[in-house]
Amino acid sequence: MVALHRLLSVALALTATAFGSTSFGSTPSGSAAFGSTPSGSAAFGSAALGSAHRGGFAAAVTFYVDATGGNDANAGTSSAAPWKSLAKVNATTFHAGDQILLKAGQVWSGQLWPKGSGATGSPIVLGAYGSGARPRIDGASRVTSTVKLHNQQYWEIRGLEITNIAPATGTPGANLKDLRGIHIDGDNGQTLNHLYVDGVYVHDVSGQVNWIGGDTTGNAPGVTFQTGWDRSKKTGGIVFDTTVPDIAAPGTAPTILNDLLVQNSTISDTSFAGIVVKQYSGDAPGATATGWGNRSSASDPAFHPHTNVVIRNNYISQANTAYGCNGVYLTDVRGGVVTGNTIYQAGTSGIEAYFADSVTIQHNEIYQTSKKAGGADYNGIDPDKATTNMLVQYNFVHDNGDGILLCQFSFGSVTVRYNVLKSNTRYPIYLHSDKAATADIYNNTVYNDVSGYLTYGYGSSLSAKYTIRNNIYCSTKANAVLTTSSTITYGNNLYAGTLTIPSSDTTPKTGDPHFVNENVSGPYGTPTSGPQLATARAYALTPGSAAINTGLTISANGGLDYAGAPLYNGAPDIGALEYES
């Protein structure tokens, strides 16, 4: 029946108006049809994203699936005669421009794994039709991944609700494994393109938390240390990763994921991470193929990262799980942007980059990160091991343990600029990199009312080179510490409060920054509001500020301050917000 429909639709396609598929990669912020509200109350339209003639063979087809009113014996090509089961969808190979639409308000249990791939400009869309709550798929831990794509490309997953829980992580005696809400992976030695996730609600995903290293004495139900790279950190809400076939010869070609997008989605209460991007390394016991995820130098020819990754406008919360360790774990990526996200009560790190190159982290609000699942860290943003050409800018990082952790083990290079760091309880800026790393830290506003530190580092971590200029350090805590060493260069910072000014700062500024309101306490980001970056404008300067017109001119500064105002308004100012007279 489906084959007949495809043949008949060829003739129709020759006379029908062709509608090109929407590229979500170019969607302006917040303009997608599917918002990030968990209730899923928005109406899901069934407008076709592509009914164009497909390569002279057959036109795109839209398939409908209804869990209560469908029948797998139906053609499935109209809402009046829909399919019923996920099994029917899973047994079908789809083609470029096809759509698989699940009826809003319906619930399925098990795994959804449709087959086939789309094509350039004509992706396959997995989405919803009708009005009401998002169609829901419950993995119920009967499957490792509730929605799965494997060695497939040109797909867009839109507007679904997805869970995968039971038993809960930490249940004594449970035989836990890695679980995912959405899992997109490959092992075919090719580049897999255009894999988009938009407007989904992924929540309550349990599963094992495996750490790369650590101390095995900390092992507990659901938590294991010293598992190595490939076995670690593969549980989460949305996971992109690659591996090799079970039997792989040395020299197997790398599988690379290119053009990844997660946007306008809510991911909440997922063990280990909200969003993971990860490459195969070959370090698991019994591995027969060398991997491409580790990076021994900035120019390591064996490093084959995933490319062109965008994570934007999402709400990620791990408020109701003790096992949520990262909001975004972005590893093995070259060319990425993490922007416009709200990350609330994660564990370990709000946004962590690892083995990454040329990634920008900007316009995010990250708050109340805490230690979970035996993890050692609890920071807002962490450019971690072997990360180069990193740019961290325009973020509002508040009420975490550490604000920004520079943990560039092995080597790395990062610029940290025009961020507002408020009320981070341990180290607002934590210097913890190896000797081969460099960091340029300028024009940030650090407001401290809870910690005895402002910038902190120790031991061999102080062998890296840190240049710290044009920042406002404002502390209400007496004698808050700024770590010094011969490799840390402080220059032209404003020090407000009872601080010991670092001797390496030969042009320090002192005095009152005259913030608009240093005691601001919200509003902060929610699933419906998105990041409340405007709240941090309370740390803008007012007349009489010692930071106005006293800054250094810094070239290649991005051209904009935290609020998006052009630089400079007269002489340069100190801090994240340029004074606007």
pLDDT digits (tens, 9 = 90+) for 74-117: 999 999 999 999 999 999 999 999 999 999 999 999 999 999 99
| Mean pLDDT value of segment 49-72 | 73
How many domains in the chain?
A: 1
Instruction: Supply 557's token pair.
Output: 């500064």
Interval 24-40 mean pLDDT: 34
pLDDT at 258 exceeding the cut of 50: yes
- 47 domain-assigned: yes
| 479 is a domain residue | no
Count of H-run helices and E-run strands, the chain: 2, 43
Res 13 pLDDT > 70: no
> Is 405 inside a domain boundary?
no
- In a domain? residue 108: yes
Q: Per DSSP, what are the bridge partners of residue 130?
A: 44
**Average pLDDT in the chain:** 89
The yes-or-no verdict on residue 374 having pLDDT over 90 is: yes
HEC sequence for 518-567: CCCCCCCCECCCECCHHHHHHHCECCCCCCCCCCCCCCCCCCECCCCCEC
Where do the DSSP E strands lie in 407-511? Answer: 411-417, 420-422, 429-431, 436-442, 445-448, 453-457, 465-469, 472-475, 481-482, 488-491, 494-496, 509-510
Q: How many CB atoms lie within 10 A of CB 45?
A: 15
Residue 436 in any domain: the answer is no
What pLDDT does 247 receive?
66
pTM of this structure? 0.90
Q: Is pLDDT of 444 > 70?
A: yes
Please give the Cα distance from 462 to 465 (Å, whole number).
8
- Parallel, antiparallel or unpaired: strands 387-393 and 315-317: unpaired
Question: 3-class SS at 75?
Answer: coil
- pLDDT at residue 438, as a whole number: 97
- Which of 437, 444, 381 has the alpha carbon at shortest distance from 413? 437
* 5 — pLDDT class (breaks 50, 70, 90): very low
Helix (H) or strand (E) holding 11: helix 2-15
pLDDT at 142: 83
* Mean pLDDT for the stretch of residues 499-507: 93
Q: What is the mean pLDDT of residues 457-466?
A: 95
Task: Give the whole-number percent of the chain exceeding pLDDT 90.
Answer: 82
Residue 41 lies in a domain: yes
Domain coverage including residue 256: 2-376
Give the residue from 522, 526, 543 showing the smallest Cα distance to 534: 522
Considering the domain boundaries, does residue 32 fall inside one? Answer: yes
Phi-psi region of 544 (alpha: psi -120 to 50; beta: other; left: phi over 0): left
Q: What is the mean pLDDT of residues 343-352?
A: 97
Give the CA distances from residue 44 to residues 29, 34, 107, 125, 562, in Å, rounded to whole numbers and listed in that order.
Answer: 19, 8, 15, 13, 36
Q: Measured between alpha carbons, how far is 297 from 265 in angstroms, rounded to an integer?
A: 35
> 96-105, 198-207, 246-255: which range is least confident on average?
246-255
8-12, 94-98, 310-314, 424-428, range with the lowest pLDDT: 8-12
Residue 166 covered by a domain:
yes
Query: Comparing 163-167, 169-173, 202-206, 332-336, which segment has the lowest mean pLDDT?
Result: 169-173
**How many angstroms separate the CA atoms of 241 and 306, rounded?**
9
φ/ψ of 537, rounded to 5, equals -70, -5
**Would you give the distance in Å from CA 363 to the centre of its chain?**
13
How sure is the predictor about 141, in pLDDT bands with cuts at 50, 70 and 90?
confident
Q: How far apart are CA 475 and CA 451, in angstroms?
A: 9
Residue 246 has pLDDT above 90, yes or no: no
Positive or negative, the Cα torsion across 176, 178, 183, 184? Answer: negative
Residue 305 to residues 83, 117, 205, 291, Cα–Cα distance (Å)? 39, 22, 26, 11
Q: Give the rounded percent of residues in the chain with a pLDDT score beyond 70.
A: 89
The model's pLDDT over 229-245, given as tens digits with 9 standing for 90+, comes to 989 999 999 999 999 88
Give alpha helix (H) positions in 191-286: none
